[in-house]
Amino acid sequence: MRKGAIFLFAFSLFLFGCQAKTVYLPPPESSPPTPPPVIKEEPVALPDLTISNITLNESGRLVVTLSNIGKNPVPSRIGHLTLYVDGDPKWSIPLERIPDQNFLQPEGISVYMTPVELEGTHSVKAVVDSDEEIVEENESNNTLTKTFSFERVVRLPSPPLQKPEALLLPPDISITDLSLNRQRRLTVTLANIGNGTFPLRSGTLKLFVDGTLKGSYTLNSLSDRDHLLPQESITLASSLTLMGRHDVYARIDIEPGVNERNLENNGLKKILEGLPVGPDLVIKEIELTEDLELSILLSNTGEGELRKGTTLRIRVFLNDRKVSEFDHFISEPLRPFSGNRYVVDPPYRIRIDGNSKVRVTLWPKGASDDIRLDNNTLERYFTFYSFRLEPQKSQEFSFSPISNPLRKRGQKERVKAEVRWDGGEFPLRLSLKGPGNLKKIPAISGGSPLKLQVPIEDQKNRERQAWRISVANLLEKRVEGILIIQTP
């Protein structure tokens, strides 16, 4: 009986242990929500002009290597290359006058031999675009400084040549640049790098576009010149017009019997892109409000409309110091060739007084919103004179217009005079006497403000002779005011 109870108890434990155990698993963790994709705004591709190297040639002349390491072309016709020797400015040249313009293109390199010669040990600094006229990806690589030592070798004079005909050295014609002008016409720059004179009638220019001959011209048919002197260059404009991107090859064929030093440099190949039809923004004027604050006037001289809502980046420099940089949204469309005057007032007031140089630069954030960037800078000089005129009295002021390095060839410029005074409903008389034919400018009378504009026709007159402005009080009481002179 006892053994049976023990057996029954053990058998019960065995059945209990054989029962399946229930396993409780934790609930699966919920995965976090997928974040929305991040849309990255592509940065605007900009050029990056830099000085790659400065060297000395065997005669002691400085040679500068320029390059564009950016992703966009450098705008032509603006910017300068300047050389300093021992801290003093020695020489400067506009970038548009450098014969080899390859450095304006992305990854382009140009080597330019300057007229500056050294003797002894000197520190040389080369600076490009010191005024930041060109909008670049990096402004800190526009300067390079090196120290050079050069001793000039004194050579004994050679004995005179027995045969005078040995002095007749051959010319050497080279194509140094291909470009498109504003009318999209293909222009070719030639240089005579030889030691003899080259007759232009002896050369024929052949132009190939995408591998096909598109034009053939005798050199003297493209110029009123007969010869190209040694170390002289000339730019010829063809009748060939390009739009879009093309592979252009130019070659000069020389007539038989003409002795040229090197025939291997008579051709040049380059990829050119004609300007598309689109808007062309220009800064038309810089004006002053009643409170003498800066106001900017824009216009569209292109063939396409500038759409409403376009974003412009605008910089303002006062006496070569940047005082404002802001974005502006175009509030109304600018129609092509409309001559419209679109006014932009800086968000922070910029007051102009005293003697001030004002430079305004703009560029759109969209590449298709402006087909040209080389005309997006305007520079003006303002001079202020205070006057106090007794009844029936006049006062004369003199000034000389300053030569503007940003002035383009053929660009029309004006001198502007403006008189403002208290009690502006009473008239004053304003007259201007300039050099040469400008002496015949008639005087004007009227209320405040009284404005007079005079075109500058002769560059020599503006630099060498003084201009005179006279303000006359026609009233029977004293008048106080200011005279504002604006020159290019």
Q: 181 lies in a domain?
A: yes
438 pLDDT band, cuts 50/70/90, is low
Q: What is the CATH number of the domain that holds 478?
A: 2.60.120.380
Q: Which of 308-312, 403-407, 465-469 has the lowest mean pLDDT?
A: 403-407
Count of domains forming the chain: 4
User: How far from 456 is each of 379, 409, 414, 434, 486, CA to CA, in Å?
Assistant: 16, 13, 5, 9, 12
pLDDT for 323 beyond 90: yes
Which of left, alpha, beta for 17 (phi over 0: left; psi -120 to 50: alpha)? Answer: alpha
In 319-457, which ranges are E strands? Answer: 321-329, 342-344, 356-364, 377-389, 394-399, 413-421, 428-433, 444-446, 450-456
pLDDT for 20 beyond 60: no
Are 301 and 389 part of one and the same domain?
no
Are 391 and 357 part of one and the same domain?
no
pLDDT for 103 beyond 90: no
Give me the pLDDT at residue 296, please: 92
Are 138 and 213 part of one and the same domain?
no
Percent residues over pLDDT 70 in the chain: 80
Q: 103 lies in a domain?
A: yes
Mean pLDDT of the chain: 80
**What confidence tens digit (pLDDT) does each residue in 471-485 have?**
998 888 888 899 998
Q: Which residue has the tokens 């009844």?
A: 391
Are 143 and 190 part of one and the same domain?
no
Q: Which of 349, 375, 401 is the last residue of a domain?
A: 375
Percent residues over pLDDT 90 in the chain: 12
Q: 4 lies in a domain?
A: no
CB burial of residue 230 (10 Å; 0-12, 13-18, 19+)? middle
Q: 463 lies in a domain?
A: yes
Are 244 and 320 part of one and the same domain?
no
Pairing of strands 80-85, 356-364: unpaired
- CB-CB neighbours of 95 under 10 Å: 24
Q: 179 lies in a domain?
A: yes
Q: Which domain holds residue 239?
A: 168-274
Q: Which of 274, 300, 316 is the last residue of a domain?
A: 274
Are 382 and 488 part of one and the same domain?
yes
Q: Which of 153-157, 307-311, 332-336 has the lowest mean pLDDT?
A: 153-157
Q: What is the CATH number of the domain that holds 323?
A: 2.60.40.10
The average pLDDT across 252-278 equals: 81
Give me the pLDDT at residue 322, please: 92
Are 260 and 356 part of one and the same domain?
no
Rounded CA separation 137/69 (Å): 9
Name the residue among 390, 294, 396 with its Cα closest to residue 348: 294
Are 126 and 146 part of one and the same domain?
yes
Contacts of 119 (CB under 8 A, 6+ apart): 60, 150, 151, 152
Pairing of strands 185-192, 120-128: unpaired
Q: 38 lies in a domain?
A: no
Four-residue CA torsion sign, 98, 101, 105, 108: negative
Give me the pLDDT at residue 294, please: 92
Q: Does a cis peptide bond (omega within 30 degrees of 0) precede residue 75? A: no
Q: What is this structure's pTM?
A: 0.47
Are 174 and 245 part of one and the same domain?
yes
Instruction: Judge contact between 374 and 78, C-beta under 8 A.
Output: yes
Are 367 and 382 part of one and the same domain?
no
**What confidence tens digit (pLDDT) does each residue in 365-391 have?**
877 787 777 788 999 999 999 998 888
More confident call, 27 vs 124: 124
Give me the pLDDT at residue 240, please: 87
Instruction: Judge contact between 46 and 72, C-beta under 8 A.
Output: yes
Pairing of strands 444-446, 479-487: unpaired
More confident call, 487 vs 244: 487
Give me the pLDDT at residue 5, please: 53
28 pLDDT band, cuts 50/70/90, is low
Contacts of 249 (CB under 8 A, 6+ apart): 207, 208, 211, 267, 268, 269, 270
Rounded CA separation 39/88 (Å): 50
Q: Which of 274, 291, 318 is the last residue of a domain?
A: 274
316 pLDDT band, cuts 50/70/90, is very high
Name the residue among 475, 486, 478, 420 with its Cα closest to residue 447: 420
Are 335 and 260 part of one and the same domain?
no
Q: Residue 322's beta-bridge partner residues?
A: 317
